Amino acid sequence: MLLSVLGVTVGISLFIMAQAVSQGFKEFYVQSTVGTRGSIVIEDRFQSRYSMLLGDNFENKMISIENQKPRKFYPGIPDAYRMIRVIKTYPQVVACAPIIEDRAFIRSGLLSEVTNVQGIDLELQLDTTDLAKQVIKGTIEDFRNDGSAALIGSLLADRMQIGIGENVYIKSDLGDSRRFKVAGIFQSGINAIDEKTVYLHRKAAQSVLRKPFYTSSILVRIQNPEEAPQLAAAFADHFSHISRPWQEREKAMLATFQAISIFATISVSAIILMAGFAIFFILNMSVLNKTKEISILRSMGYFRTDIAAIFLWQGALLSLLGIFTGSLFGATLTTLVSHIPIKIRGIFQADHFIVTWDFKHYLIAALLSMITCFLSAYYPARRAARLQPVDVLRGTSQ
């Protein structure tokens, strides 16, 4: 019995820990990408597929369209601030920020790299993203007060050995080289951004990239990021611009995290299943060893349901004890794991295991344990209930 309880305890504690870690890394990645790229990104304008050429007399009629031409796309957003004012009228929208973006070259000393220059409106960017929290060296104030300042991604700064206060030279394919002072180094947690991105003031970026009065995209922050797909579809219909929610942008990574979570669930659930088999064999042996006691109870007036309930309650008590101890050990194990130092430098950056505390993990583990223990106890309980006192006295019971 103790081994069975121990199996349930280990299975539940590992299940809770595995779910906390897998969901923790997923939420960390989602927070990083939403905090850097916004919940929704509005980009190029597109041509409407159909024109309203028919009158009301053709309502509810079948229309056939032949030789349809591909949709045309027009780069950029012509009047970004006007669009932002309209976007902010949506009640779900918290903030918006325009971005001007293009490829450029950054040089420091003898080192040169291809970089992604983003011109930002600082105040709107701070309201829309987590840029203020992402600056790990230097200050936002130094960047705000200097029109020729730059914010450099942490991995790009390490690769080019750039420090705070140093000068870098940025040149686009069309423009001339221009000097900027590094006012800060930021770390978004997403390697693709930290190793390629340089933030400049909007006007400075327009000058370097030779794109005056141009906006590449608009970042939109909303109250509930889970509602991004519905709101993005509304923006696309309203503005005739490509509108991409974060779920669409990160579809591949979300699928990867889901696959990892499912694999962890199946692997750890096998331990609970093995504990269930142990409970099954123990209760089954108990029925075989206590046939005389069961027959005496039946002779005293116990019904079959009463006999079955004895063994079902025994399995339930084992399950409840395992759930209680497993939840305690699971919380302890999750806490210990969250303090283990680990250096992750892949798709995102983390210096320790990231966990999420969610009551649903404990509830799912408890339900899984209860179902397994019930199924394990059901057959022995049914077998005990079918024993006949006369068969036991004759020695013919099975």
DSSP 280-342: HHHHHHHHHHTHHHHHHHHHTT--HHHHHHHHHHHHHHHHHHHHHHHHHHHHHHHHHHHT-EE
Residue 100's pLDDT is 93
Helix 251-289 to helix 359-385 angle (10° resolution) is 30
Tokens of 343: 């250096």
Query: In this structure, what DSSP letter does residue 72 have?
Result: P
Residue 219's pLDDT is 94
DSSP 113-145: EEEEEEEE-HHHHHHHSSHHHHEEEE-HHHHHT
Predicted TM-score (pTM) of this structure: 0.72
Q: Where are the domains of the chain?
A: 2-31+253-388, 72-244
**Four-point Cα dihedral 336, 342, 348, 353, nearest 10:** 0
Render each residue's pLDDT in the chain as its tens digit; 398 residues: 677 777 778 888 888 888 888 888 888 888 888 888 889 999 988 866 555 555 555 566 666 656 556 667 778 888 889 999 999 999 999 999 999 999 999 998 888 899 999 999 999 999 999 999 999 999 999 999 998 999 999 999 999 999 999 999 999 887 778 999 999 999 988 888 888 999 999 999 988 888 887 899 999 999 998 999 999 999 998 888 889 999 988 888 888 888 888 887 777 777 777 777 777 777 777 666 666 666 666 666 667 677 777 777 777 787 788 888 888 988 898 888 888 887 766 566 677 788 888 888 888 888 888 887 777 777 777 776 666 665 555 554 44
Number of CB atoms found within 10 A of residue 49's CB: 10
Give the span between the Cα atoms of 132 and 31, in whole angstroms. 14
Close Cβ partners of 33 (under 8 Å, ≥ 6 residues apart): 190, 246, 249, 250
Residue 320's pLDDT is 84
Predicted confidence (pLDDT) per residue in 70-91, tens digit:
667 778 888 889 999 999 999 9
Number of CB atoms found within 10 A of residue 369's CB: 26
